Copies of this chain bind each other. A is one copy, B any other.
């Protein structure tokens, strides 16, 4: 099948399919006219990549997971190690974002939000209350 059908079958855009090929994640065959030809196995690889990306694995980790996936004799311990490290990274980033949200929400909670110019949010960004960070 051609790239369009592979895209529809995998849920990966044509652009990204070409990109993944360019960085060596897959190597589809070529037809006489230069078109890429995708076998069912290629589409499976694309789906694997998409699922890994849906979990926000960086492409370099996708590459490692893909290699392990295609290695019949791999030890599941290695996969698990990658996965748990990524879980930790995700949780850390989520916590960091949640902390920012909480801190900004706290600032906003002190802001009247009316037509007047007084604004504790801007004061906070300015650093006015650096001496009273807790409140």
Interface residues of A, Cβ cutoff 8 Å to B: 44, 47-48, 51-52, 54-56, 65, 68-69, 72-77, 79-81, 83-84, 86-87, 90-91, 93-95, 97-98, 100-101, 103-105, 107-108, 111-119, 121-122, 124-127
Contacts and interface: CB of A to CB of B under 8 A. Distances in A.
Number of copies: 2
A80 B104 CA distance: 10
6 contacts: A47-B126, A47-B127, A65-B122, A80-B113, A91-B98, A94-B97
B80 A44 contact: no
Q: Summarize A's interface: helix, strand, loop or mixed.
A: helix
Contacts of A90: 97-98, 100-101, 104
